[in-house]
């Protein structure tokens, strides 16, 4: 409704179980959109990284895009 679009950059830890933890905003867009991005990424399920064939926790960066779509 505010007409804002752009990218929110996040850094997080993917656990051995594939869950997102310690989600931090590293590139802000708007406080409300930042919070929505963090809340959404916490629901994502990741394929955990492996080391020597065993799941291991890793830090990654992700970008969440907010775009406005205009109706014809």
pLDDT tens for each residue of 52-71: 999 999 999 999 999 988 77
% of the chain beyond a pLDDT of 70: 99
* φ and ψ of 55, to 5 deg: -60, 140
CB 8 within 8 A of CB 68: no
CATH number at 25 reads: 3.30.1150.10
What does the DSSP 8-state code read for residue 19? B
The verdict on pTM exceeding 0.85 is yes
Cα–Cα distances in angstroms (integers) from residue 7 to residues 19, 42, 61, in the given order: 22, 17, 13
Q: How many domains is the chain built from?
A: 1
* Structural domain contains residue 1: no
Region class of 38: left (phi > 0), else alpha (psi between -120 and 50), else beta: alpha
């Amino acid at each position: 409704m505010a007409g804002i679009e752009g990218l929110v950059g996040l850094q997080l830890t993917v656990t051995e179980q594939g869950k997102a933890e310690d989600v931090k905003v590293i590139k802000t867009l708007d406080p409300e959109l930042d919070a929505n991005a963090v809340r959404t990424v916490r629901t994502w399920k990741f394929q955990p990284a492996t080391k020597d064939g065993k799941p291991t926790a890793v830090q990654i960066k992700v970008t969440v895009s907010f775009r406005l779509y205009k109706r014809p």
